[in-house]
Amino acid sequence: MKAWGAFLRAHADLVPRMDRLLRKRAGVALRDYDVLAQVDLAGGACTMRELDRRVLLSQSGLSRLVQRLADEGFVGRATNEGDRRGVDLRLTAQGRSVLRRARKVQAEEVRTLFADQMSPEEARTVLRVMRRLSEHADPS
């Protein structure tokens, strides 16, 4: 029960800080980074529907976010030829570039703000517990 409070507090202390650092040093928000990274993970291209499954955001929220990423030139959009309801996304060269930089910043920050604060043993426990929590809450 105290652990729940500490969990909330840690998130509230860490995430906005990560977000600010990422914006300042890489020019993208944490959520943008997440989306770009997921597209990359799907091989640099995927459809909105697929992204929606991978990302923690409402469908409409994702739609607007991708709109913004497209406006900024980080992804290209085109209607899927196979199923014209779908929209295909592709990382642009600029998108890949910003993603590379963001990855570097993110790796540094996660290390200093998060990973360096716990032993490998503790990290394993945190990983295990957090996964269990997600599975139980959202058995996708």
Partner DNA sequence: AAAGATTGATTCATCAATCTTG
Partner DNA sequence: CAAGATTGATGAATCAATCTTT
8 Å CB contact between 43 and 54: no
Lateral strand order in the sheet of 45-47: 45-47, 87-91, 75-79
Residue 78 interacts with a second copy (CB under 8 A): yes or no: no
Residue 128 Cβ vs DNA, minimum distance, rounded to whole Å: 26
Q: Could you tell me which residues are beta bridge partners of residue 75?
A: 91
Restricting to residues 116-135, name those near a second copy by CB under 8 A: 117-118, 122-134
Selection from a second copy, DNA, none that 31 binds (CB < 5 to 8 A by kind) is: DNA
Nearer to DNA, 11 or 128 (CB): 11
Selection from a second copy, DNA, none that 10 binds (CB < 5 to 8 A by kind) is: a second copy
Taking the C-alpha atoms of residue 99 and residue 89, their distance in angstroms, rounded to an integer, is 15
CB atoms within 10 A of CB 127: 10
Residue 109 Cβ vs DNA, minimum distance, rounded to whole Å: 17
Residue 120 Cβ vs DNA, minimum distance, rounded to whole Å: 32
Taking the C-alpha atoms of residue 85 and residue 48, their distance in angstroms, rounded to an integer, is 10
Chain residues binding a second copy by CB under 8 A are 1-4, 6-15, 17, 56, 107, 110-111, 113-115, 117-118, 122-134, 136-138
